[in-house]
Amino acid sequence: MCQKNYVLELGKIIISRRILSEVSAEKINELISYHKNGYIVLRNGELIQRAPEPRAEIVMNFYLVNDETIVIRTLLNDEGNWRTEIHFEDESNDHRRGYFDWMLHQSRKSPFTLGNVVCTAEVKKSLGMQHIHRLIEKQLSYDWGMVGLGDWTLNDRAVENGRRVLSHHYIGDEYVYVITEADRCSTTIMFSYEY
């Protein structure tokens, strides 16, 4: 995993929704570089380079940014691939934090078309236009809501490969689905019980 030159294999980099909204892209890339090259920041602010154990299956570092601790964790998943996760320390157990593919977010290679956006009558009546517009914005920005990491990755691939995309959000006391069809001709917003 780590070579003599301290370069850590990161694999796919996943960042939380909050990191994406509260930390600049430059700072995220700087922290990724620190982690990749074995740099840690001591409490006194000193930056030192320390290589992780070469056979380690998890390498975790903590970086203080604007009085909040950011966790960067690189681990070997069940398929034998490396994955790096970046989130605030207080998001460690939050399964709703989101899982943005950092490289996809940086490149935005594929334009994502929603087609004709329609809502069920119940959604229009219960949510209001502000929530509906926010759901549309989330879908356009690759925010799949409360889906797990596996489904998040499937949605990212579905955008790239022209397949159906389903995001899952919680608004008020209701679970809401946003479904963009594979042919990109329509997107439907509905409550989960209407599915």
Whole-structure pTM value: 0.63
Please check whether residue 148 is in contact with residue 123, taking contact to mean a CB–CB distance below 8 angstroms. no
The 10 Å Cβ neighbour count of residue 41 is 16
Place of tokens 């966790």: 71
Of 4, 153, 26, nearest in space to 85 by CA: 153
Strand partners, 54: none
Please check whether residue 170 is in contact with residue 138, taking contact to mean a CB–CB distance below 8 angstroms. no
Alpha-carbon Rg of the chain, whole angstroms?
Answer: 19
**What is the mean pLDDT of the segment spanning 26-30?**
90
**What is the mean pLDDT of the segment spanning 139-143?**
85
pLDDT band at 115 (very low <50, low <70, confident <90, very high): very high
Of 129, 134, 168, nearest in space to 151 by CA: 168
Q: Which residue has the higher pLDDT, 115 or 54?
A: 115
Q: Residues 6 or more apart from 50 whose CB is under 8 A from it?
A: 38, 39, 40
Q: What is the pLDDT of residues 149-194, one digit of tens each?
A: 788 889 988 988 889 999 999 888 899 999 999 999 999 999 999 9
Residue ranges with strand state E in 66-192: 68-76, 82-88, 100-101, 116-119, 165-171, 174-180, 186-191
The 10 Å Cβ neighbour count of residue 179 is 16
Q: Where do the domains of the chain lie, and which CATH numbers do they carry?
A: 12-107 (no CATH), 116-194 (3.30.2310)
Q: Which residue has the higher pLDDT, 135 or 99?
A: 135
190 vs 171: CA distance, rounded Å: 12
Tokens at 52, concatenated: 């992780």
- Quote the pLDDT of residue 50: 81
Q: What is the pLDDT of residues 124-133, one digit of tens each?
A: 999 989 999 9
